[in-house]
Structure 1
């Protein structure tokens, strides 16, 4: 693993959630963040059991008064979970691990988990960043390029993008003529510099529109706070997103978290159960930790009860022949698509806008790959880099004026969502889950991922980017 960027992002996310005390997971390879002093439990009898068990344990073993353990969320809500405070984060020590241990015996009696950490759900280039965007000239066409076909409002496939919202000048790009939704909040800082991950949702919408022209794309700014939200709130925000326009044909979600478990996210139980009963297909990013640890909600694709309703997507490198160095992998990733150095819509169409890099590139691939990956190129020095602090190097700044090149499973995901939508249009298929099955069943494409041949989907208008082996320094 390469924890450096994960640690660099921790303070950024903490600043975006100033009222939440955050901690890093004890399993560094799992790469997750969570709320200190709080656990989640299902509403009703299970919440009462968790509350009573933890209160008794802490009163007897740690000298806490019973009031330290109490519910902090509503008594009941649509997600089916509630927050239970198990300690005061201001006291320094995080008591969540103690609470989890106190409940192990009760969980064994119930034969299922009763409690979980309140994880931070984040965009899939946030706490596990693939890279940061690179300016691309307007003379360079998007990649994938716009597919042939016309927009038909009567039969257009409805796609909901749950992400960071749309930049203010997105309508200046003809590709996004039929895209609507929420405006990106806080695009720039006080100095007029583009904030980190602004344009993420716009970039995703552009890829979708290029691959599938006859789509009604709605982008919701569910993750506009630096691309991060607590698990306890995420389920509610997902319900709000679908309630605004009804359940769409496809949800494209380039966000999630690992949690070191194989049974999903407790905070998403209610949403995932309701999703299962709809006709909507959730297409979700596998994450960028170069790990086989399940990343949720993408990993729901491997659970039998969700196999039809969730499609998890990993990323291929620039030539499309094998895995991108950063992509998560494993049997829970159902398909891979190009996700390295895609070119699409960012921001700056009306007025060019500056961006200062947050992370520095590496001398060699942080995951041990030998091709010229985005870990190394293009070279830049970032604000958050420990190396910059020790050398005093000035962070690099660039200007965006419309298009950008960006990498991550975040962007392989809308490519696959677009291919499902395009299949629906071409075959007049109204069931997105059936279209998913037909598309995967008819495809003979594959790629090499960690020595295994896996299913791959490559948009017809996508152009491979040559991959070179970097020269060794002497």
Structure 2
């Protein structure tokens, strides 16, 4: 299957299952690339700007705007006859919806252009659709999950024994890690020892024919990656309702807010994407302003699988630890990983092994085939690099008594000290203590050796 066919199949799957979804640019088939997904006939605004935006929607746009947009006749951006509904999202952000049966010039992007003209950029934004397998140009994971030779092979990376540089306690004990993803497979915590005690919102991984759905089990695999590095951490998965791997930012941020309120020290947000005009999302910005900046909580997110330096959100926020993927041997950037100065650190992301569902699975990538998966699979992507870093932060917290931002800062400093030329700062799962290799004491048999 060509890249173009793969793109069309992935996007058509989303559009077929979600009538709310739209794609920019409209010429995505001809262009061979999607810039971003968004929800039709709805926008987001800061609650403080709500009255101003509502008034502006009912006013005539400028003559210059009308001249630039041939399809727009003189009249309000949204006429009075089109009813709007205002819905709270989280503290500081309100969603404005209007009728689904109106077309141009009252579609989402036309309305946003009118508001941009009157109020400036990013006063209002679309409700972005973000992928659970971060790959904005092609909404698919880096590859398909593959069966491993035997259940006895165990996870990769292996489960951390909690010992680093000759001391115990580097295991995440007492630390709470919340994963916002597609849900948790119910049997996994009962099947795999390192998953014991993981809890959260369950997902049904099977379609009507009992075939494992695309992207199903992603949250389970991610939770397993956290537990391999921080085996005594409390880990739970919150399900953001996704369709064919896509969820909307307003729903994702509500799950992140729930996760914060549940006492998480570290939040792993597994949704990511490129935004309109490459500007920050209002929901995540407000979440930080209203909630996160006042607490000692760290957000970790994957950088995406586009082999691109374009920033993706939420990974590109300065207050998020954005994680790219290293090759299997840990010495190069993975060929699919996004990169750039906005990526904070790189961690292994190729051929990791962890828990998934049991059953048949139809691949998205070439070769197109049906695989039987036996509950333990090999998978690649920045999605799986991110939870390794989250687990390292948790493991360090339990041993040092640092809070999450302090532990993250210490590990990022260490990552920078061993930066790889052509890649950037790197962390390996067995470096949880963040001690330079030359500082390990004589006879140390820990991973820092």
For structure 1, the 5+ residue unaligned runs are: 362-379, 382-395, 463-474
Alpha-carbon distance in 1 for matches of 2:242, 2:77: 37
Alpha-carbon distance in 1 for matches of 2:419, 2:112: 42
Alpha-carbon distance in 2 for matches of 1:410, 1:215: 19
Equivalent residues of 2:347, 2:427 under 8 A apart:
yes
**1:102 and 2:103 equivalent?**
no
Residue 175 of structure 1 deviates from its aligned partner by: 1.0
CA offsets, 1:256-314, max 9 Å, x none? 2211445410122332221121111101111112222211111112xxxx3xxx21101
3-state DSSP of counterpart to 1:440: helix
Judged with a 3 Å threshold, the aligned counterparts in structure 2 of structure 1 residues 71 and 199 are, in CA distance, closer, same or farther, namely same
Equivalent residues of 2:58, 2:76 under 8 A apart:
no
**1:333 and 2:343 equivalent?**
yes
Please report the RMSD computed on the Cα atoms of aligned residues, expressed in angstroms: 2.9
Match of 1:42 in 2: 46
Residue 5 of structure 1 deviates from its aligned partner by: 3.8
CA offsets, 1:118-167, max 9 Å, x none? 11122134624311111113132211011113999994211001111111
Indicate the larger mover: 118-127 or 330-339. Answer: 118-127
Match of 1:113 in 2: 122
**1:399 and 2:416 equivalent?**
no
Alpha-carbon distance in 2 for matches of 1:3, 1:242: 39
Match of 2:408 in 1: 436
Match of 1:467 in 2: none
Q: From 355, 358, 374, give the equivalent of 2:361.
A: 355
Indicate the larger mover: 193-202 or 88-97. Answer: 88-97
Equivalent residues of 2:225, 2:354 under 8 A apart:
yes
Indicate the larger mover: 288-297 or 117-126. Answer: 117-126
Judged with a 3 Å threshold, the aligned counterparts in structure 2 of structure 1 residues 446 and 71 are, in CA distance, closer, same or farther, namely same
Judged with a 3 Å threshold, the aligned counterparts in structure 2 of structure 1 residues 421 and 63 are, in CA distance, closer, same or farther, namely closer
Equivalent residues of 1:254, 1:409 under 8 A apart:
no
Match of 2:23 in 1: 23
Q: From 36, 42, 60, give the equivalent of 1:32.
A: 36
Judged with a 3 Å threshold, the aligned counterparts in structure 2 of structure 1 residues 232 and 155 are, in CA distance, closer, same or farther, namely closer
3-state DSSP of counterpart to 1:459: coil
Judged with a 3 Å threshold, the aligned counterparts in structure 2 of structure 1 residues 43 and 70 are, in CA distance, closer, same or farther, namely farther
Residue 327 of structure 1 deviates from its aligned partner by: 1.2
Residue 460 of structure 1 deviates from its aligned partner by: 2.0
Match of 2:57 in 1: 54
For structure 2, the 5+ residue unaligned runs are: 62-71, 163-167, 433-449
Indicate the larger mover: 64-73 or 162-171. Answer: 64-73
3-state DSSP of counterpart to 1:256: coil
**1:256 and 2:286 equivalent?**
no
Equivalent residues of 2:86, 2:97 under 8 A apart:
no
Q: From 142, 149, 163, give the equivalent of 2:155.
A: 142
Residue 319 of structure 1 deviates from its aligned partner by: 2.1
- Report the TM-score, using the length of structure 2 for normalisation: 0.82
Match of 2:287 in 1: 271
Residue 419 of structure 1 deviates from its aligned partner by: 1.1
**1:183 and 2:202 equivalent?**
yes
Residue 36 of structure 1 deviates from its aligned partner by: 2.5
Judged with a 3 Å threshold, the aligned counterparts in structure 2 of structure 1 residues 230 and 94 are, in CA distance, closer, same or farther, namely farther
**1:320 and 2:333 equivalent?**
no
Alpha-carbon distance in 1 for matches of 2:409, 2:343: 15
Judged with a 3 Å threshold, the aligned counterparts in structure 2 of structure 1 residues 334 and 52 are, in CA distance, closer, same or farther, namely same
Equivalent residues of 1:279, 1:432 under 8 A apart:
yes
Residue 168 of structure 1 deviates from its aligned partner by: 2.2
Residue 199 of structure 1 deviates from its aligned partner by: 0.8
Alpha-carbon distance in 2 for matches of 1:23, 1:264: 18
Alpha-carbon distance in 2 for matches of 1:133, 1:400: 8
Alpha-carbon distance in 1 for matches of 2:171, 2:429: 23
Match of 1:232 in 2: 250
Equivalent residues of 2:15, 2:22 under 8 A apart:
yes
Residue 423 of structure 1 deviates from its aligned partner by: 1.4
